[in-house]
Structure 1
Amino acid sequence: MTPSKLTAESAANQPFLATLRELVQTYQAFCAYEEPHIRELGLTSPQFDVIATLGNTSGMFMNQLAEKTLVTKGTLTGIIDRLEQKGFVRREVPPENRRCFLIVLTPEGERVFNEIFPVHISYLKERFDQLSEQELEEIKASLKRLREIF
């Protein structure tokens, strides 16, 4: 399917642009609310994302971690390096596949997860509690539908 030809004027008047703008502004507002709190907890948002994703697991391979986080594969290695330097994660080479690494939370990483994950979720809950269960379901369904078309 080839895109239809639009003029600059007709492109600027496409109805979906208002929705796109609202989506971006919502994400920016969320980040502006969330990121300072994560910084107060001593992490960057991507570091928190990795620790939260690894929490309550026995570890994940890099490709799994990249799929489940909001972090690109290219950025993930640097984040893992920094978390490793802080003593929060370690790389393990599984005996059955020595070509890849399993990323595992260390005991210190588990402590950090158990300490800061509930605190941050409580912080976010204050805002999300302003929505009904039905509203949350509708938003989730709409966002899922939007993701599916891409």
Structure 2
Amino acid sequence: MSAAAETSNESFLPVVRELATAYQALAAYSEAHVRQFDLTPAQFDVIATLGNTNGLCMGELGEKTLITKGTLTGVIDRLIQKQLVCRETPAENRRNVLVQLTPAGQAVFDRVFPLHLAHLKERFDKIDPVELELLKVLLGRLRQAF
């Protein structure tokens, strides 16, 4: 048996495939919903992360959203054009750029975030709470393996 044939029988490969397809299904379901509000998934991620805060610096926002720095700048620029966020550079620390929701951005958060949670909840409610907890634990263990 060739090395390629042997490695294709690895027991973790079906898990990787299931994890990837589950993520793709979740992302597609979520994206279709947030696009109804004239937001991209990344824009929604930023608004949801900034909601209930007094703003975050770009570095913190990048860490919490997992959006790369280069992409995040473009997302923030487009949200500024939509007048949903503002960016401030404090005089005392020019490297610490603060991003905050505008009143219009706060209104979008207040309206869209609960609707999106309810949209996701419809699907997650189909899974037994004990299984959801087990899934959370197992995914955490998988993440720690890397």
Once the two structures are TM-superposed, the CA of residue 95 in structure 1 deviates from its matched residue by 4.1
Task: Map Cα deviations across residues 26-55 of structure 1 (whole Å, 9 max, x no partner).
Answer: 011112211111111110001000000000
Task: Map Cα deviations across residues 69-90 of structure 1 (whole Å, 9 max, x no partner).
Answer: 1322221010000001100011
Q: CA RMSD in A?
A: 1.3
Which amino acid counterpart does residue 127 of structure 1 have in structure 2?
R
State, as a whole percentage, how many aligned pairs show the same letter: 56
Name the structure 2 match of 1:30.
26
* Runs of 4+ in structure 1 over 4 Å off: none
Name the structure 2 match of 1:14.
10
**Within 5 Å, which residues of 2 pair with 1:28-107?**
28-107=24-103
TM-score, normalization: structure 1?
A: 0.92
In 2: Cα distance, 1:81 partner to 1:22 partner: 35
Once the two structures are TM-superposed, the CA of residue 9 in structure 1 deviates from its matched residue by 1.2
Name the structure 2 match of 1:3.
none
TM-score, normalization: structure 2?
A: 0.94
Once the two structures are TM-superposed, the CA of residue 67 in structure 1 deviates from its matched residue by 0.9
Structure 2 spans left out of the alignment, 5+ residues = none
In 2: Cα distance, 1:140 partner to 1:58 partner: 29
Once the two structures are TM-superposed, the CA of residue 24 in structure 1 deviates from its matched residue by 0.3
The number of aligned residues is 145
